Amino acid sequence: MIITDLLEGRTFQGCVLILLLTCAGYTFVNVVYNIYFHPLAKYPGPRLAAASGWWRVYIEAYKKESIIDRLFKLHEEYGGIVRIAPDELHFSDPAMYSEIYSPRSRWDEDAMMYPHFGEEASTFTTLEYREAKRRKDLVAPHFSRKSILSLQTVVQEGIDELCEIIASRAAEGKTTDFFRAFRCVNFDNVTSFCLGWSMHILRALDFRAQALERMHQRNADFHFWKHHPLLRALAMFMVRVKLVLMRRREPKGYFRVYKIDELCEIIASRAAEGKTTDFFRAFRCVNFDNVTSFCLGWSMHILRALDFRAQALERMHQRNADFHFWKHHPLLRALAMFMVRVKLVLMRRREPKGYFRVYKKIEEQVDMYTNQPEALENAPHPLIFHLLLDPAQSLKLSKASLRDEANLVIVAGTDTTSNASALGMLFALGGDGYIGEKLKAELRAAWPRLDEKPKLEMLESLPYLKLCAKSLCASATVSPLP
């Protein structure tokens, strides 16, 4: 009522001016509250960061700076606790890590951050703690020590292939980009280990697999999408449209393509069976096939249709009969033609590229296992789908959730392990060479012959190798995930 009275009798320009003044006033009050009256106002930090979240948007999305690099400078200037957003603090004291990420700290996740990782229905983007824990517990057995030991040959196959490729490149005088190489082998390993298939992207030229390049770019673009949720929603909609366009569906009716047969053979065969022939329909079928073969070089073989009632010709005949209706309704006809063109686009058989090949592979697998659960019995080894689709589980996941869980294990299992592997290689081979030499001596003693592959249990028993692995994990960079 108050708003109606306020706007009554005003021009459009006046209404817009009131709206702008209202927004400006709200922004001003919000900034003042955040700086002086917010519960976190007593903590030090950049004034712009305290005033609005747009400070971080500018740093991450537009200046393309890592917030981690900026945090080091902020802690040097402001101390161990820094306010980096109106409702966010960052701690530099390592002792706080156990306090914040303790199993007793059952925090829900930040609704402004996690939905922008790309997967909308995965464990990682489930915001509520209890629901996320239920889903983590669902797939946890697949990553247990027992499961890893039983499937270590799957991982070994990928490592063996990588070693062969590196040796081949060395023989040709080529260097190896270990960062890309480890990303490729870990991508193949995680898809084989969790999903039961491999795209063999390790064989890509110079390890530059298009799927991984796109995935890496998507990770790099995360900060932009995080701060632009509307644009992200539009982008995700376009991804879904592209996935629909790539579905290989069998066209029906007037859109099918087959070959031609001889009319006389069919008529003779029908006569031998005591069947009559509708020559009107028969001649329409044979002429349709003859015209397409003569002029276009292909035939739909509609002459083989039951009683010459080919769906394509029936539809064409109906369209001719409807001519007068469409002639007098041009707008309806335009709409109908648009729908025909959309259908033709949806039925194009295009080979997906880049990471869309992965999306499509996952989609096909989920569709198969949800529609035919017995197909899991033919899997090469236990997959995460055996756990996610276990009838004994009380938690039932939708197809979207199944797809996102599969995509999550690929993305999470590829980048983390490949980065650790590349850093481990630099760690072992860098410096003065002492670490590398000592590590190689231990490995040579326990593994004297290269053709006799060691088991994981034996590698875990090597003290210096185990120490190097733990040191690498301890030195990893921790990115703030509220």
The parent domain of residue 69 ranges over 2-110
| 215 and 168 within one domain | yes
Task: Count other C-beta atoms under 10 Å from residue 125's C-beta.
Answer: 19
pLDDT for the residue numbered 215: 74
Please give the Cα distance from 381 to 195 (Å, whole number): 9
Per the listing, tokens 């740093």 go with 59
DSSP annotation of 104: T
Q: Measured between alpha carbons, how far is 384 from 375 in angstroms, rounded to an integer?
A: 14
Residue 219's domain is classified under what CATH number?
1.10.630.10
Q: 145 and 104, same structural domain?
A: no
Question: In DSSP terms, which residues pair with 90 in a beta bridge?
Answer: 82
Residues 146 and 240 in one domain: yes
Q: Compute CA 22 distance to the chain's CA centroid, rounded to the nearest angstrom.
A: 41
Residue 256 main-chain phi, psi, to 5 deg: -85, 155
Please report whether residue 228 resides in a domain: yes
Residue 81: inside a domain: yes
Identity of residue 310: A
Instruction: Find, among 84, 78, 36, 82, the residue nearest to 57 by Cα.
Output: 84
Quick one: pLDDT at residue 254?
A: 37
* Same domain? 152 vs 225: yes
131 within domain boundaries: no
In sequence order, what DSSP letters do the residues of 8-64 get, joined into one string? TT--HHHHHHHHHHHHHHHHHHHHHIIIIISTTTTS---HHHHH-THHHHIIIIIS-
pLDDT at position 408 is 81
- Regarding whether 175 and 89 lie in a shared domain, the answer is no
Could you give the number of structural domains in the chain?
3
Residue 392's pLDDT is 83
Q: Is 321 exposed, middle or buried (0-12, 13-18, 19+ CB in 10 A)?
A: exposed
Last residue of a domain, one of 346, 380, 396: 346
CA–CA separation, 230 and 325 (whole Å)? 42
Smallest CA-to-CA distance from 190 within 441, 6, 409, 424 is with 409
What is the greatest pairwise CA distance in the chain?
98
Structure tokens at 446: 């326990």
Residue 420 lies in a domain: yes
- What are the φ and ψ backbone dihedral angles of 85, each rounded to 5 degrees? -160, 165
Asked if residue 279 and residue 207 are part of one domain, the reply reads no
Give the residue from 190, 228, 153, 243 showing the smallest Cα distance to 411.
190
- ∠260-265-266 over CA atoms, to 5°? 75
Q: Supply the pLDDT for residue 361.
A: 81
**Can you tell me the distance from the alpha carbon of 42 to that of 83, in angstroms, rounded to the nearest whole number?**
9
Specify whether 224 is located in the same domain as 372: yes
How far apart CA 186 and CA 414 sit, in angstroms, is 5
Residue 270 is assigned to a structural domain of this protein? yes
Please identify which residue in the block is written with the tokens 């003042």: 32
- Of 110, 126, 160, the last residue of a domain is 110
Structure tokens at 19: 């709206």
Let me know whether 105 and 9 are in one domain: yes
Q: Can you tell me the distance from the alpha carbon of 330 to that of 403, in angstroms, rounded to the nearest whole number?
A: 43
**54 within a domain of the structure (yes/no):** yes
Instruction: Going residue by residue through the chain, which has 482 residues, state the pLDDT in tens, using 9 for 90 and above.
Output: 455 655 566 676 777 777 888 888 888 998 899 899 999 999 999 999 899 888 888 887 777 777 888 888 899 999 989 999 898 898 888 888 777 777 777 777 776 666 555 555 677 777 778 888 888 888 888 888 888 888 888 888 888 899 899 999 999 999 999 888 998 998 899 888 888 888 888 888 888 888 787 777 666 666 666 666 677 667 666 666 665 665 544 444 333 333 334 577 777 777 777 788 776 677 767 776 666 555 544 566 667 777 777 766 666 656 555 655 655 566 776 777 666 566 555 544 555 556 667 777 888 888 899 888 888 888 888 888 888 888 888 788 888 888 888 888 887 788 778 878 888 887 777 766 778 888 889 988 988 888 888 888 898 899 998 888 887 776 555 566 65
Helix crossing, 463-474 with 434-446: angle to 10°?
A: 140
In whole angstroms, give the CA distance from residue 130 to residue 108: 9
Q: Are residues 7 and 106 in the same domain?
A: yes
Residue 223: its pLDDT value, please? 63
**What are the residues facing 82 on neighbouring strands?**
90
The Cα–Cα gap between 157 and 360 comes to 25
Whether 242 and 258 map to the same domain: the answer is: no
Phi, psi of 128 (to 5 degrees): -75, 130
Tell me: do 341 and 359 sit in the same domain.
no
Rg (CA), the chain: 31
Q: How far is the C-alpha of 83 from the C-alpha of 44, rounded, in Å?
A: 6
Structural domain contains residue 211 = yes
- b/e per residue 365-374 (b: at least 16 CB within 10 A): bbeebbeeee
* pLDDT confidence of residue 250: 41
Residues 340 and 366 reside in one and the same domain = no
Q: Is 467 domain-assigned?
A: no
- The pLDDT of residue 298 is 54
